[in-house]
Amino acid sequence: ANELTMIDVYFIHGAGGGSWEWKIWNEIYHLRFRNENFNLIFIDLVAGSRGLQFTSFNDYVAQALNAIVNREECILIGASMGGIIALKLCEILQGGVKALILICTALPKFDSDQTCKIGEDLKTFDIIPWSSGPLSDTIKALPDSCSQMHKFLHMKWKDESGLVVHEIKSGIPISYNALPSCPKLLIIPENDDTISPDSQQLLAKQLNADSFRYSGMSHVGPLLSIRAVEVASDAFHWL
């Protein structure tokens, strides 16, 4: 980190979330980067112009890209859906990305001959109503967090575009050749029941990336569990 000066660090949240997902990381990073020349930017993804029901993966990528001021030098950190968005941004920005951290990341479809056409014809998918889910769903998703955090998250979850989730599940194509050779890190929670930890590890190998694994940690645990401070600190030391 000492070799980098005046660099923007962009944080991209997961599905149904917002910049508030980085609450713990934000606190740790501001403590650690107090005397460093890093500018922390937490991106909030919102519904596209046609409304949430018709919001596509490319809408979110465009929003994130528009948020990046200096495209010649930046660091990207993405979680879950935000991870695959960050990877797509790497493909676009190439050498402009100086480091990449993917956390419990959604998985790409590498070098596929099939172009993902979903969204071009604006097919309708149901909106995922996470904002109105019961507290028990949050507790089940984050068994490694505390009751105070459970209540906070229950109030914060937002509805998500079913179209975006469908596109990601179908596989977002990424070209190996277009990815920069910058340092990469995958943070893998071993109790992730949303995205296979072994598949995340395989992605780390494909990207020639470092990987940190955390036993007993849930999908969103790296950001919001009782051990999130530990994970955030590990990531900063890696930078």
Confidence of residue 28 (pLDDT cuts 50, 70, 90): confident
Confidence of residue 11 (pLDDT cuts 50, 70, 90): very high
Helix (H) or strand (E) holding 29: helix 23-32
Which of these, 162, 15, 146, 167, lies nearest to 79 by C-alpha position? 15
Please give the average per-residue pLDDT across 196-211, as a whole number: 95
DSSP E strands: which ranges in 20-171? Answer: 38-43, 74-79, 97-103, 108-110
Between CA 32 and CA 135 the distance in angstroms is 33
Q: Which residue has the higher pLDDT, 94 or 68?
A: 68
121-152 per-position pLDDT tens digit: 445 578 999 999 999 999 999 999 999 999 99
Which of these, 78, 109, 110, 106, lies nearest to 200 by C-alpha position? 106
Judged against a pLDDT cut of 80, whether residue 37 lies above it is answered with: no
Helices (H), 68-196: 81-93, 135-141, 147-156, 162-170
pTM here is 0.91
Tokens of 63: 């929003």
